[in-house]
Amino acid sequence: MDTPSDILILKAAASGNLQLLKQLAAGDVLGFLEKCKRVKDCEGLTALHHAAAAGNIQICNYLIQNVKVNINVKTEKGDTPLLLAIKGRHLPTATYLTQHGANANESDFKGMTPLHYASEKGDKRFMQLLISQGADVEALYEYGTPLQAAAHLGKIEAVRMLLDNSANPNSASQFSISPLMLSVRAHSTECLELLLKAGADPNISSCGLTPLARAAIEDETQYMKVLLNAGSNPNGVDLAGWTPLEHAVLACNLAGIELLFPLTSQIPSIPDWSIAGILDYIHSKIGKEQGELKRKENFQLLKKRGEEAFKKKDYVNALSCYTQALFLFPKDAIVLSNRSLCWACLNDGNNALCDAEACVELRPEWPKAHYREGAAWTLLKNYSMASEAFSKALKLDPENKEIHKAFKEAVEAEFGIEVSDNIRAINVTFS
């Protein structure tokens, strides 16, 4: 338990009271170092974290140079002192930390580096500092690179600086959205033009759509013109089999329809190839039925491909197929369950849990949904939550030996003791 003097260490660091901090050290630097390692607040912030977050350079200097604390120490969320200085927009403190050994590429537990946060804010001063200290412009986290972080919020100068420092304008994966698509969604013509000038491919799909189709949906005719001039394919189809013209019709984007109609090849299923004929067909009963049928067929095809890839233990490709299928039917519990299993096979507990929880929300009385959740919690070593999830699954399917085994193992891991094979699920009620 922390003593009153321990608590004063954090208060002195946060308030910038160097004199008090030195008094608390009382000549015992080694003993004080151990205290500084041990004393943390409820979120895991040490004295150095508090000093950096408040921009107190003198405190940072004393703790680093005199007490010799670890400059890259992390909080419960994975924040380093440098990350906190950047979040607090304390440039002198961030500069001091990078000049004294702070790792410019150290990420938090979400995988975001200091450059991700600086790019989101669009602050060129921090970005220049970090890049000069070797920050990786291609650092990846779940939603992409610093360029994607900047494009997502339409931070023009941040996008320009990253591209000037050789950031890949096409940085994207099957799980993240391309910078070009993010610029369309951010309604930033400037970012769009910067990316295209740097070589961004106007035909790369994200979330099942091309940037041109997204611009048609957003009723952004100016963006459509920019993309078409850059070589965007007006006949490219999305995962559901729709062209940008059809998306413009569905969005009632009349200017977009007039722009795309002369550039789009006739679609065989539409008998009257005129603007009026296309509008009538797509909004007709048969047109809607055919569109839904096409969507379902493509969904089943992607789902089948995912299953085949999983059988071959090609989990990354299976993930890609399931992700694309979910763009078409986001609330399909079976595909969410399958994707959760893929994440688990790749030891990604956080994403496995995210899909499992979504699955539970959609089908709360499906045993497999709770089983997937338990498996994810087990990966994250939260055995209390794992045993609770497995218990719910076992309550719904009492004879399932696989669930029973997982439940027993989770309880044993939670309490550190062996339990009887006859252990039963606790009572569970669904609200």
**Where residue 428 falls among pLDDT bands split at 50, 70, 90?**
very low
Max CA separation in the chain (angstroms)? 89
Which pLDDT tens digit goes with each residue over 259-281?
A: 999 999 999 999 999 999 999 99
One-letter amino acid at 43 equals: E
Residue 431 pLDDT > 50: no
Q: 192 and 159 in contact (C-beta within 8 Å)?
A: no
Q: Residues for the chain: how many in total?
A: 431
Which pLDDT tens digit goes with each residue over 65-82?
A: 999 999 999 998 899 999
CA distances from 59 to 53, 369, 370 (A): 11, 50, 48
Which pLDDT tens digit goes with each residue over 96-142?
A: 999 999 999 999 988 899 999 999 999 999 999 999 999 999 999 87
Q: What is the pTM of this model?
A: 0.81
Q: What is the DSSP string of 116-179?
A: HHHHHHT-HHHHHHHHHTT--TT--BTTB-HHHHHHHTT-HHHHHHHHHTT--TT---TTS--H
Question: What was the pLDDT predicted at 157?
Answer: 97
**Where residue 418 falls among pLDDT bands split at 50, 70, 90?**
confident
Which pLDDT tens digit goes with each residue over 352-400?
A: 999 999 999 999 999 999 999 999 999 999 999 999 999 999 999 999 9
The chain-wide mean pLDDT, for the chain, equals: 92
Residue 425 pLDDT > 70: no
> What is d(CA 101, CA 238) in angstroms, rounded to the nearest whole number?
48
Question: What was the pLDDT predicted at 172?
Answer: 80
Domains of the chain: 1-103 (1.25.40.20), 107-201 (1.25.40.20), 205-283 (1.25.40.20), 331-415 (1.25.40.10)
Question: What was the pLDDT predicted at 1?
Answer: 45
Which pLDDT tens digit goes with each residue over 196-209?
A: 999 999 999 887 88
Question: What was the pLDDT predicted at 422?
Answer: 65
Section 43-48 average pLDDT? 94
